Structure 1
């Protein structure tokens, strides 16, 4: 059944949007190598039930016998197939074989434990549904936002080889090239010329746009899970040595560590992955109401002050939180922090 997807990230995002339109709390991300022959992960929450699925992305026409072949090769655990469009016959076969799927027009069948979602009969659109409701500018897609983040945090990257920017921001070289081309074409970046290095020229405006797009296109994909630690108090006070797992404090936790008087309602830590060592030594129990939220650290080589994520991300998370106290902490941070203060239009 598997075919080579030209852009699995774009198709995955379209499927996530359809789930959210149905009132489902959904976030997904592409992670090549997540498992043999699979493409990434999809977190789904609905009416108090949360599950993580391993994703297989399929582009092109899917036929009923493909479903049979996929069912015969079923792996244990929660898996889901994402496709452009499931015909009525494909939809019926998925249900008959209890194969989870979502397509980009809103047909879906998900049955895992007590979680059951079932929508069928959505017609195929004449125009491609992939771009519906999506910011299509290269700089403000999920991967594009990662590149812009790196450029804003480390201004030396303005003149660094694109390969270095790609490595630090966790994207492909092609994505970096597309983002820089977009920024140059829209007055945010001056390309290198004879006798002049490349540079950001409207960093303040670019940062504001990044903060606006971040909760829509990047933040949902960063969630690794929510947990109840054995000692929530030490996590909420930022007294855990999270660096031993490659962790950095973020959001309200970072604001408190950096000197704000805010009392975090949730401890937030960014780290590369949730390891068995972390789960065992920190005695973490998955819980939708837990006091600890772990998020994926998508970049490398960039760190903020005092064991925290870089302050542009702290600021964006505080703004995205939406509370009055969080916004106040964000504005105080922007006034006091040197890096945020340097993000001005030239």
Structure 2
């Protein structure tokens, strides 16, 4: 995958600018290779990391890597405009598959934008990564044994219509995340990559649909004592920063994420919170069954990890890594 992305990027860079670049795959020091650019004032050599897409939660890690290596270059199939802007602020060189590039060295300054990748084939819609499919994939990620249970049970546990299951499983097979073992047994492949794709897709497709509104505490003191709140068992759970704080004792929450099946009026009555569009309590609909939680107070570590990574906040990302190492890594 890395070489295909790099070759496309360098071919388009050459096509639009005439700049020649040569990529060498090395896999040294956790990076993917190096690129030799032939530029007007001579050759420039960059060490390169290759990704398919770049997301906000990855920026602190990329920035840290760029500090460690002189002439670091990020190459990706897709880099969104807001990410590019942040990379330029940090003077981190990048190149995308369309041939758009930014780099700044002692001898060269180059910034080219506006080119788009020509897609010969439009990617077929994949049911596995729709809002409905993501609920099923979450079930498999949190408890893989459901993968080989009857589709009726999978649908019930994920809270989706039975007719979706076959399409979702087919979609996972098409993207090489599932393999057939024997006549009836399925097994997840590339589980870490599947988790990463779920994290990105959850933030874009499922989480916005789950959002029921923002709230705030009625009293300032209630925010300080948030961890003394008694949440209704089986219905309401902490996610995001408060869940990360309870799981690691490392984070002081600023944004309070709640997943719940309680009504709006019940939330107001039970927790002394009030609706506020700018409030720092973000409420989402609960989308899983009871077994998919860490305990009676916080959601599953995979969902905590996801929420924290997607904040883009460095402290939250540190906490997410602690959770990954202790609670997730052994099952990936």
Is the aligned partner of 1:216 residue 2:194? no
2:137 pairs, out of 148, 153, 161, with 148
- Cα deviation, 1:187-225, whole Å, max 9, x if unaligned, reads 21123634x622212211111111121111111111111
1:191 pairs, out of 180, 191, 198, with 180
Instruction: Please provide the CA RMSD for this pair.
Output: 2.3
Is the aligned partner of 1:314 residue 2:304? yes
Counterparts of 1:302-341 in structure 2, within 5 Å, are 302-305=292-295, 307-337=297-327, 340-341=328-329
* Unaligned stretches of 5+ residues in structure 1: 1-132
TM-score by length of 2: 0.58
Instruction: Give me the whole-angstrom Cα distance separating, in 1, the residues matched to 2:247 and 2:238.
Output: 10
1:161 pairs, out of 150, 162, 166, with 150
- The SS at the match of 2:263 is coil
Is the CA contact (8 Å cut-off) linking 2:148 and 2:186 kept in structure 1? yes
Q: Going by fraction, where is strand more abundant, 1 or 2? A: 2
- Cα deviation, 1:91-129, whole Å, max 9, x if unaligned, reads xxxxxxxxxxxxxxxxxxxxxxxxxxxxxxxxxxxxxxx
Task: Out of 226-235 and 168-177, give the one that drifted further.
Answer: 226-235
Is the CA contact (8 Å cut-off) linking 2:229 and 2:271 kept in structure 1? no
Superposition deviation, residue 134 in structure 1: 10
Instruction: Give me the whole-angstrom Cα distance separating, in 1, the residues matched to 2:245 and 2:325.
Output: 16
Instruction: Give me the whole-angstrom Cα distance separating, in 1, the residues matched to 2:223 and 2:124.
Output: 36
Is the aligned partner of 1:182 residue 2:171? yes
Instruction: Give me the whole-angstrom Cα distance separating, in 1, the residues matched to 2:323 and 2:314.
Output: 14
Is the aligned partner of 1:261 residue 2:269? no
Is the aligned partner of 1:239 residue 2:232? no
Instruction: Give me the whole-angstrom Cα distance separating, in 2, the residues matched to 1:149 and 1:238.
Output: 27
Instruction: Give me the whole-angstrom Cα distance separating, in 2, the residues matched to 1:135 and 1:231.
Output: 50
The structure with the largest alpha-carbon Rg is 2
* Unaligned stretches of 5+ residues in structure 2: 1-121
Counterparts of 1:69-218 in structure 2, within 5 Å, are 136-191=125-180, 193-194=182-183, 197-218=185-206
Is the CA contact (8 Å cut-off) linking 1:232 and 1:292 kept in structure 2? no
Is the CA contact (8 Å cut-off) linking 2:213 and 2:284 kept in structure 1? yes
Q: Going by fraction, where is helix more abundant, 1 or 2? A: 2
Superposition deviation, residue 313 in structure 1: 0.9
Counterparts of 1:51-66 in structure 2, within 5 Å, are none
> Cα distance 1:161–1:232, how it changes in 2: closer, same or farther (>3 A)?
farther
Is the aligned partner of 1:294 residue 2:283? yes
Corresponding residue for residue 226 of structure 1:
214
